[in-house]
């Protein structure tokens, strides 16, 4: 459904099943805003490591969504599994607008 690369070259996909079953159902504010998720992954403001899942990275970008969510961050959580010695492959787990970059998350990029 979506395939892109983050600024560090990691490949990320969003699968239709996860999008429909979880994101559209539980986060209807993202309905039809697939491009905002892609923008956040390809041109994030910051990438942080999840506090409890070392195999997950969180991508945040302000103003990725239209009003009334424009003055918020769009947070996209991506789970990674190693697909070789140097490359990584990630799948979008969830995404939602939020008011701040996660407390306690460790910055990984830039």
Partner 1 sequence: MAVTKQEPGIQTFSLRWPATVEVRRQLKFVYDRPTDTLFVDFYGRSLPAASIALAWGDHDYAFARVDPETHRVVGLQVEEFLMHAVSHNPWLLDALEYAELRGITPREIGELRRRLAPTTSEAKGDAGRFLDHLARMTA
Least spacing, CB of residue 27 vs partner 1, in Å: 8
Region from 2-10, 36-44, 82-90, 98-106 binding partner 1, contact rule CB under 8 A: 98-106
- Kindly report the CA angle at 46 between 95 and 17, in degrees rounded to 5? 20
Region from 2-10, 20-28, 36-44, 81-89 binding partner 1, contact rule CB under 8 A: 20-28
Would you count residue 96 as binding partner 1 (CB under 8 A)?
yes
Q: Site for partner 1 (CB under 8 A): which residue of 2, 11, 13, 22? A: 22
Residue 73 near residue 98, CB atoms below 8 Å: yes
Residue 108, CA distances (Å) to 18, 33, 48, 49, 60 in order: 25, 26, 5, 6, 12
Region from 7-15, 34-42, 66-74, 81-89 binding partner 1, contact rule CB under 8 A: 66-74
Residue 88, CA distances (Å) to 18, 45, 48, 61, 70 in order: 19, 20, 16, 21, 31
Q: Site for partner 1 (CB under 8 A): which residue of 11, 62, 80, 109? A: 62
Which stretches of the chain bind partner 1, using CB under 8 A? 18, 21-22, 25-29, 31, 46, 48, 51-52, 62, 68-69, 71-73, 75, 93-94, 96-107
């Amino acid at each position: 459904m979506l395939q892109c690369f983050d600024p560090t070259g990691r490949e990320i996909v969003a699968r239709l099943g996860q999008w429909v079953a979880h994101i559209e159902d539980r986060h209807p504010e993202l309905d039809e805003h697939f491009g905002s998720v892609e923008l956040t992954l390809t041109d994030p403001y910051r990438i942080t490591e999840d506090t409890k899942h070392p195999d997950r990275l969180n991508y945040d970008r302000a103003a990725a969504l239209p009003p009334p969510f424009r003055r918020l961050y769009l947070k996209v959580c991506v789970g990674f599994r190693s697909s070789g010695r140097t490359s990584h492959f990630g799948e979008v787990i969830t995404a939602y607008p939020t008011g701040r970059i996660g407390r306690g998350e460790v910055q990984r990029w830039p």
